[in-house]
Structure 1
Amino acid sequence: MADETSADINNPALQPNGEDTSPAIGLISQYVKDMSFENPSAPTVYQWQDAPQIDVQFNIAADNVGENLFEVSLKIDVTSKADQGTMFVIELKYAGLFGVRNVPDDQLQPFFLAEAPRILFPFARRVVADAVRDGGFAPLLLEPIDFHGLFMQQMQQVEAEQAGAAAPVGQA
């Protein structure tokens, strides 16, 4: 019969000195890093009757900002136009500071490009809705985004491009 002490020594996550070596990622802080709201057609824009065309663009970036610290930023650009002109433009860079411990490098990219944006998005969505409302328009509620699905789609595209580059060209 094995005693509990030997079982703990065999567990790599539990070191004899009490150090926890299990992988962990935690959100330390989240914040608006940069934001701009433009209402170039005010005050006449409030008299326009046409339904606007809304263009929304997203970009995700992850930067190492210190030892075991990473900043993940979600950039959201929204442009609303009608036939008469631009109604509003909003640019938001919303970021989160994540602490990382004992996570293999191959696990970081999926977290930073899929999971971290999923965590940050609801808060960025609220900032956009409030800014648009404060600009005198109906709040813009961005649709939820499947960041994991987009990440998987991007990885498949990269793999397909790499496989295409490795394939022979022409006939021998």
Structure 2
Amino acid sequence: MTEETAGANGAPAAAPQVKMQVLAQYIRDMSFENIVAQKGISGAEVQPDIQVAVSLDARKRQAEHQYDVVTKFKVTSKNKVNGETLFLLELEYAGTFLVEGVPEEQLHPFLLIECPRLLFPFVRRIISDVTRDGGFPPLNVDSVDFLALYRQELARRAQASAAPTTTPN
């Protein structure tokens, strides 16, 4: 055995070392609408119902081993009493990552699970700050299970591709 294929004790060498580095992170797009202030809704009976939708996107950059990962959050707060929208926040937060040593078949889940995990604390702080600065109590978004989100998307895609297609007669 050679040095490259065996360790000092003769055991097989470890897999290549995974290297991930955040090269940049930034707000790509953001919108906040305070509907209460725009419509002049009185604060008589307000029971907020907050919905958070999360989507992810990743793409290869021209530079070798570099990827852009975008987390998209849509936060909608409606009044449980009458269904009126209180506020709407849309945030696209992106990171540019250098990723090396990840096998090709594991790269897609790595980009859509591990990279968003690193970005999430910054997204949480931005959402908290924007809702507070927008005239509402700061919203502390619950942790997101990016692994479960990834699995749901895979299941949705599998179901969509397995759906029978009808052809006209």
TM-score range normalised by the length of the shorter chain: 0.7 to 0.9
How many residues end up aligned between the 2 structures? 152
| 1:20-99 correspondence to structure 2 within 5 Å | 22-42=17-37, 44-45=40-41, 47-67=43-63, 68-82=65-79, 83=82, 85-99=84-98
Shift of 1:103: 2.6
Distance of 1:88 and 1:157 partners within structure 2: 29
Q: Distance in 1 between matches of 2:37 and 2:122?
A: 27
In the alignment, the residues of structure 2 paired with residue 150 and residue 87 of structure 1 have an alpha-carbon distance, to the nearest angstrom, of 27
Alignment of 1:1-172 (within 5 A): 7=3, 9-10=4-5, 22-42=17-37, 44-45=40-41, 47-67=43-63, 68-82=65-79, 83=82, 85-156=84-155, 158=157
Deviation at 1:48, TM superposition (A): 3.8
* Partner Cα distance (1:85, 1:10) in 2: 65
Tell me: CA distance 1:41–1:92, structure 2 relative to 1, closer, same or farther (3 Å): same
| Mean CA deviation greater in 142-151 or 37-46 | 37-46
Q: In 2, distance between residues paired with 1:10 and 1:129?
A: 50
Higher-Rg structure is: 1
Q: Which runs of 4+ in 1 moved over 6 A?
A: none
Structure 2-normalised TM-score? Answer: 0.76
Q: Post-superposition shift, 1:117?
A: 1.3
**% same residue:** 38
1:24 counterpart letter in structure 2: K
Q: Aligned partners of 1:159, 1:40: CA distance in 2, in Å?
A: 38
Structure 2: where are the runs of 5+ without partners? 8-15, 164-169
Letter in 1 for 2:106: Q
- The alignment's TM-score, normalised by the length of structure 1, stands at 0.75
Distance in 1, matches of 2:159 and 2:45, equals 46
Q: Find the residue that maps to 1:66 and give its secondary structure.
A: coil
